[in-house]
Amino acid sequence: MTNPVPSPVLVEMKAVNKHYGALHVLQDINLQVAKGEVVVVIGPSGSGKSTLCRTINRLETIDDGSITIEGKELPKEGKELANLRADVGMVFQSFNLFAHKTILENVTLGPIKVKGVSKSDAEKQALALLERVGVGHQAAKLPAQLSGGQQQRVAIARALAMKPKVMLFDEPTSALDPEMINEVLDVMVELAKEGMTMVVVTHEMGFARKAADRVVFMADGQIVEESTPNEFFTNPQSVRAKDFLSKILTN
Amino acid sequence: MNVLIDNREVFLSGFKNTGILFVFSAFFALILGTIVAGMRVSPAPAMRAAGTIYVNAVRNTPLTLILAFFALGYPRLGLPHLDYMFAAIVGLSLYTATYVSEAIRSGINTVSVGQSEAARAIGLTFMQTLSLIVLPQAFRSVVPPLFSVFIALLKNTTVAAGFGVVEAGGIRATLSDLGEPLLPGLLWVALIFVVLVLGILTPLQRYLEKKWRVAR
Ligand SMILES: Nc1ncnc2c1ncn2[C@@H]1O[C@H](COP(=O)(O)OP(=O)(O)O)[C@@H](O)[C@H]1O
Ligand SMILES: [Mg+2]
């Protein structure tokens, strides 16, 4: 799993801190994600995984420290921030497809409104993406008419349509019925194989083993452990990681 | 019935002015109210503050005072002259916009934050997120309260009568000048208002609710 030639750093978090009132939700976070790397973030509920993920496209602001993408500090606001977000795809636990727009419109909206792509080009590209995630024949439907697994695959297509440099996934399969989890994970594994840079918050060990280059274990706002999936799942170092793994393995 | 037929000119011109006041004020109040609602959910603190101050100041001022300002106070400021009709439309619009804004803001709050987060995540700006994603979904739940606001506006147009605009609320005064019996005239005015609400506004509300429900 080690790269013979080190890839350039794409996302870098340096000494990042964030509080929610008295709660120190991110504590001195340092994290580098190389181009093409797939990093799985794992840890107990409330440990700050979502918050970490959301700071990378500035859906959450940080108190101090720095976050850079391709060496550039995240813009604070306005058009530049919007442009940065266009380069960072995000997939949410609850899909968040635009409820009043068709599946096709969900995927074409960003390219048309943010990138100025023509409607016909955007639709052609969107249909190809929908085909690729296996929901091509649903293009004319509204999100509510699709199953959760289908909606999440559309959400991935919507993010991909922006041709992002990095994709963030925040527990993309946690809201799904068990029988739909794999159809979404399969799409993500494909993406990983194609070289997409990904930060994935998930407890799906199968995905981590199959696709991740690195596992980052978080607890109480801190990164407690970082290693390869195999190393992490078979030989965790910290007490907290051992404790956590024993819990998810027995469930 | 005689009161109505004998004085149809009075009724017609009164309700024509009511119609003009209503349509223009509703139009401007809808636009201004939407803008103010947008300001109140804006990420910029100064915008939020300006929107909040406007709504609280104007909404808590009696409409008669606002119209009195335009009819009596404004002409003394040495600014360009406004005719009564125009001034009444400005006053009614400014006043009604605060209620429109509150109705729309409560509609915005019914749209889940996930919708605007997803919009921002693909790179839409605040204005695009609001106009393309949030407002179209908010308008659906806003239809019923918005129509309450517009029905109130229709009735509020009668307040303008006190300030020189001859609209339906002034018909009674005109009739009494003409020596017509008062009560029948008043009842006719009231009845026509009910017909306007039940005959035009309520069906329009039902139509919009239905149309937007299907689209969900
Ligand atoms: N907007 C917020 N305001 C206040 N506290 C929050 C907010 N979002 C999350 N938190 C708190 O921050 C902690 C970390 O949350 P989160 O990042 O969602 O954890 P995880 O994704 O690991 O479950 C939790 O204790 C949560 O209650
Ligand atoms: Mg979470």
> For the domain with range B2-211, which CATH number is right: 3.90.180.10, 1.20.1050.10, 1.10.3720.10, 3.30.1360.120?
1.10.3720.10
Q: Which residue has the higher pLDDT, B139 or A116?
A: A116
For the stretch B17-69, pLDDT in tens is: 888 889 999 999 999 999 999 999 998 899 999 999 999 999 989 888 888 88
pLDDT higher at A114 or B72: A114
pLDDT of residue B197: 78
Of the CA atoms within 13 Å of residue A168, those in its CB half-sphere come to 25
A89, A96, A100 ranked by CB distance to B114: nearest = A96
Contact A130, A139 (CB under 8 A): yes
Q: Does B125 touch chain A (CB under 8 A)?
A: yes
Q: What is the mean pLDDT of residues A95-107?
A: 96
Q: Are A227 and A215 in contact (CB under 8 A)?
A: yes
> What pLDDT shows up at residue A129?
96
Which phi and psi angles does A222 have, rounded to 5°? -120, 150
Checking if the pLDDT of A243 tops 80, the result is: yes
Domain residue extents for chain B: 2-211
Per-residue H/E/C for chain B:
CHHHHHCHHHHHHHHHHHHHHHHHHHHHHHHHHHHHHHHHCCCCHHHHHHHHHHHHHHHCCCHHHHHHHHHHHHHHHCCCCCCHHHHHHHHHHHHHHHHHHHHHHHHHHHCCHHHHHHHHHCCCCHHHHHHHHHHHHHHHHHHHHHHHHHHHHHHHHHHHHHHCCCCHHHHHHHHHHCCCCHHHHHHHHHHHHHHHHHHHHHHHHHHHHHHHHHCC
> What's the mean per-residue pLDDT of chain B?
85
Q: How far is CA A167 from the centre of its chain?
A: 5
A47 lines ligand 1 (CB under 6 A): yes
Query: In this complex, do A86 and B122 lie within 8 Å of one another by their Cβ atoms?
Result: yes
* A92:B118 CB<8 A: yes
> Which of A34, A10, A68 lies closest to A213, judged by CA?
A34
Residue of B nearest to A115 (CA): B123
pLDDT number for residue B43:
87
Q: What is the pLDDT of residue B74?
A: 75
Share of chain B above pLDDT 70, in %: 89
Q: Give the pairing of strands A166-170 and A197-201.
A: parallel
CB atoms near residue B64 (< 10 Å): 15
What pLDDT, on the 0 to 100 scale, is given for residue B168?
A: 62
**Cβ neighbours of A83 in B, within 8 Å:** 123
- A23-34, strands of its sheet edge to edge: A23-34, A9-20, A64-69, A72-73
